Amino acid sequence: MEFTLTEEQRQIRDTVAEFVDEEVVPRAAEIDEEDEFPADLIDDMADLGLMGMPFPVEYEGAGLDYHSYAIGLEEISRGSGGLGTVVAAHTSLAGNMLYEFGDETQKEAYLTALNTGEEIGAFALSEAEAGSDVPAMSTAAERDGDGYTVNGGKLWISNGSVADTVTLFAKTDPDAGRKGISSFVVRPEEDDGFVVEGTEDKLGDKGCPTAELRFDDMWIPEERRLGEEGEGFVQALKTLNGGRITIAARSVGIARAALNEAKSYAQQREQFDRPISDFQAIQHKLADMDTKARAAELLMHEAADLKMRDEDYIKEAAQAKLYASEIAREVANEGIQIHGGYGYTKDFPAERYYRDAKLSEIYEGTSEVLRNTIAQQLLDE
């Protein structure tokens, strides 16, 4: 694996970093405080080609490699963890479901609009009683003429209340377990029976609406099924596997933001007539924070490299997401400690980084589930 960024990758990093510093960072506290979906920033990112980064230009994507996509998402998340989740759920989950499992008609109709940023995507898998245990879902899609009637509900759906296209998972054969799950394209504005019950008031990840959805006799035409009946479970696992790389990228971005803020504060804050960055205890904290963020970044790029080579990357994606999410919390925690009492107030962004980092240990595979995945892969080698 090449560790030196190409000219194109450096250009992507610098372009996104400039946008984040000029447009996102100054608004980050406001987004966190108001918890409103920042539609204008999404439009601006769409103009830069950031809403369809890893998809081919034939579908109006940016045609970037997965390293560049991860770098871009890392920079976006450095500015706002919530904005990072908006882009990750839109691209890695909803967009990737359409790209990997949609037919040409579906890609042209739905993926193109996602890639241009004209529409927003969401991925509806989790339920109140079916988080890590996907086959326990109760949402059902019954055959009804030349389509399906869907009843049930979904929980914890990022972008769920603002999405124009939702990739939905439902049981088409309740007695077949994981082989009885299928996936569909749902259009909230067109499909009667699609109901947004509300959005969650979360600890962090503000600006990304996390919705509870309900489906009341919602009819979907057969032409909006993705793949064949019974393929939904495998589709979900493959999609989440790639998504874990981008959650690692989100985590690295938050860790970098926490480190940069802590370093800047330590160089300005004086105690005993000198900056606290002169004290070895603070230097050691900064050294550990930087080392952890760098290690997480390398794990992220290793998984991205394997994905690009079309090699198996299940273990590596799980390791990248597991480690990056945990060190993001640890680095953010140390950032608060370096700030002292100020770190516990909203006068500084240190506490926001901690709240945003915590989510990465939960969604798209909890740390506990990822350790199971890593162990299973390891024992099978």
DSSP string, 287-343: HHHHHHHHHHHHHHHHHHHHHHTT---HHHHHHHHHHHHHHHHHHHHHHHHHHGGGG
Of 189, 197, 364, 381, the catalytic one is: 364
Residue 261's Cα: distance from chain center in Å? 23
Cα–Cα distance between 322 and 161 in angstroms, integer? 28
Residue 127 backbone dihedrals phi, psi, to 5 degrees: -135, 170
Under DSSP, is residue 127 helix (H, G, I), strand (E, B) or coil?
A: strand
Longest pairwise C-alpha distance within the chain: 79
Cα–Cα distance between 261 and 172 in angstroms, integer? 50
> Catalytic residue at 231?
no
Listed residue (30, 77, 85) closest to 257, CA to CA: 77
For residue 277, give both structure tokens: 């960055």
Evaluated on CA atoms 33, 37, 39, 45, the torsion sign reads positive
Evaluated on CA atoms 35, 36, 40, 42, the torsion sign reads positive
What positions carry a catalytic annotation?
Answer: 364
